[in-house]
Amino acid sequence: MIEKIRIRMEEGNRIYRNESDPGRRLDTAANGQHPYAIVVCCSDSRVIPEQIFGAQLGDLFVIRVAGNVLDRHQLGSIEYAVGHLDCRQIIVLGHTGCGAVAAALSGGGDGFIRYITDEIHEAIGDERDPYRASCRNVQHAVLRLKKEFAEHPEVGNADICGAMYDMENGEVTWL
Ligand SMILES: [Zn+2]
């Protein structure tokens, strides 16, 4: 590990341990997690659901993947959170300035990135505007969740909605 990054991360962890509420950690560690929402969002380092929604440990079951796309791993995570954690609210959160959507709009990525941009291409169709394309990408994921879990009423009956996060003003808009 690069030494200066390791030092930075260890210092961050020390501050976290000293300044965060140990009661909450101990409580959730002992009694399990009961998140009130599942959030599927982009891996973008500027889009942090816990900060955006003022959430604490144990509040959000977060699935992060570039471009907030879905494949079987994400679907399995959602199925777990609904079925085993009794979480009934699913939010797919897109954001302004999404690099994955921009990559799809400019033709698609190389290597494994193409799996992501192919999924986004399917979602956005012929939309060329980055914001509207991001919205369509979110709506596509919402529809896909409803379709994939059509035979699975426990998940299919959960409340599934889309939202967009504005990176500049911090506002979340429900779609
Ligand atoms: Zn993004």
Task: List per-residue pLDDT tens for the chain, 175 residues long.
Answer: 999 999 999 999 999 999 998 999 999 999 999 999 999 999 999 999 999 999 999 999 999 999 999 999 999 999 999 999 999 999 999 999 999 999 999 998 899 999 999 999 999 999 999 999 999 999 999 999 999 998 887 887 899 999 999 999 999 999 9
Of 174, 82, 98, the C-alpha closest to 137 is 98
3-class DSSP state for residue 37?
A: strand
pTM score:
0.95
Of 107, 119, 25, 145, the C-alpha closest to 66 is 119
Per DSSP, 95 falls in state E
Residue 95 bears catalytic tag: yes
Residue 46 bears catalytic tag: yes
Phi (first) and psi of residue 71, to 5 degrees = -140, -165
The answer to whether 33 and 27 have CB atoms below 8 angstroms apart is: no
CA of 94 to the centre of ligand 1 (A): 7
Q: Which of 87, 98, 136, 144 is catalytic?
A: 98
